[in-house]
Amino acid sequence: MARRKPFEIGNTSVKPGTRERVDIPVSTLSNHTPVNLSVEVVHGRRAGPVMFVSAAIHGDEVIGVEIVRRLLRAASLNKIAGTLLAVPIVNTFGFLNHSRYLPDRRDLNRVFPGLSEGSMASQLAHIFMEQVVARSDVGIDLHSAAIHRSNLPQIRLTPGNARLEELGRAFGAPVMMESKLREGSLRMAAEEVGVDVLLYEGGEGLRFDEFAARAGASGILRVMRHLGMIGAKGVPKARAVPMRAARSTWYRAPRGGLFRGYLAVGDAVQPGTVMGAVANAFGDIESEVQAEESGIIIGRTNMPVVYEGDALFHVAETPRAEAAAEGISAHLDAAPLYDEDEII
């Protein structure tokens, strides 16, 4: 059997059977501090797919950073087939500033594939595409809800992509749903160069969520196992089949005021279920927020003060809402409190 070639990235050559952290220059801050795109390369001795895992494309979505940290500690990676490219922080600028955006207020996930001589966001997107995404066969991009919102762990799929459907089922998140590609997004740019990308959502901006962290790290390992990159030992089994949803609905505040949410992410709703209410500060005017379809709450706001039209609940529609909620409970039961010795 021919020996695998080293994996070349940036100005570094990573030998088979080794792992190395590679810093790819991106920019220099105004105080002369260098900014890099840091990639952990785990290059196996045996042939296999190249998979990237990325987090913090939106700088305030920190749960993905924790998921990558846990992933890189997994013993399964010691005998990997193929190559893992792990990028815990893509948007260093936003991460340092606790911001979704770059300093020029651009959303990095709206400028892909980027340009080598464009804006700061465009240049970063171009470097990430050229050095990581285009070198891969498949990818998993980690996200959370924005600040003051929470998302149930879920996988977003490109409609009609059978391969992603298969990988999404292997990931085993509580919910799997279709999501159209957006112009300038990483997913769209990646698919245009032949790289399928699963998008994971879970938790809240600027917060750690233990359930979302475990679901994310476990799901990535299950995908790697499905692709033949790692063995079964140490890979947690999915506790339930993901709920498949083709549609979802946002329920918005019918008026401005004080919002009280009665239900949490993962709860089932039926037509007429009262999910919450918005009242004025005097308590003499109150408007209920009722579900119109059967489904599972996959996102909700955590803000008690709302304007008219603010998004309150995100419901993935399914006619078997109660059964789906039981499956989600199985996922929750499998996610005990954090233990440093049990990272997944």
The predicted-structure confidence for 221-241, as pLDDT tens digits, reads as follows 999 999 999 999 999 998 888
In 3D space, the residue among 202, 197, 67 whose CA is nearest the CA of residue 141 turns out to be 197
Residue 33, C-beta contacts closer than 8 angstroms, at least 6 positions apart: none
- The pLDDT tens digits for 20-44 are 999 999 999 999 999 999 999 999 9
pTM of the predicted structure, to 2 decimals = 0.95
One CATH from 3.40.630.10, 3.60.20.30, 3.40.640.10, 3.20.20.70 for 7-238:
3.40.630.10
Residues 330, 334, 335, 337: what is their CA dihedral angle, to the nearest 10 degrees? Answer: 120
How high is the pLDDT of residue 343?
52
Q: What stretch(es) of the chain map to CATH 3.40.630.10?
A: 7-238
In CATH terms, is domain 247-333 a member of 2.40.50.100? yes
Q: State the span(s) of the chain assigned CATH 2.40.50.100.
A: 247-333
Whole-number pLDDT of residue 197: 98
pLDDT band at 344 (very low <50, low <70, confident <90, very high): low
Is the pLDDT score of 322 beyond 90? no
Helix (H) or strand (E) holding 318: none
Q: Please, which pLDDT band fits residue 338 given cuts at 50, 70 and 90?
A: very low
- Write down the pLDDT at residue 334: 61
| In the predicted structure, residue 105 carries a pLDDT above the cut 50 | yes
pLDDT at 337 over 50: no
Q: What is the DSSP string of 24-79?
A: EEEEE-TTS-EEEEEEEEEE-SEEEEEEEEE--SSTT-THHHHHHHHHHT-GGGGG
The pLDDT mean for the chain works out to 94
Percent of the chain with pLDDT over 70: 96
pLDDT band at 339 (very low <50, low <70, confident <90, very high): very low
> In 3-state terms, what secondary structure has residue 95?
helix
What is the CA 192 to chain-centroid distance, rounded? 20
The set of residues, in sequence order, having a beta carbon less than 8 Å from that of 281 and lying 6+ positions away, is 257, 258
- Statement: residue 321 has pLDDT above 90: no
Give me the percent of the chain exceeding a pLDDT of 90.
89
Greatest alpha-carbon span in the chain: 78
Residue 5: DSSP 8-state: P
Residue 201 in this model has a pLDDT that exceeds 60: yes
Residue with tokens 């809240």: 204
Band of the pLDDT at 308, cuts 50, 70, 90?
A: very high
Mean pLDDT value across residues 248-252: 97
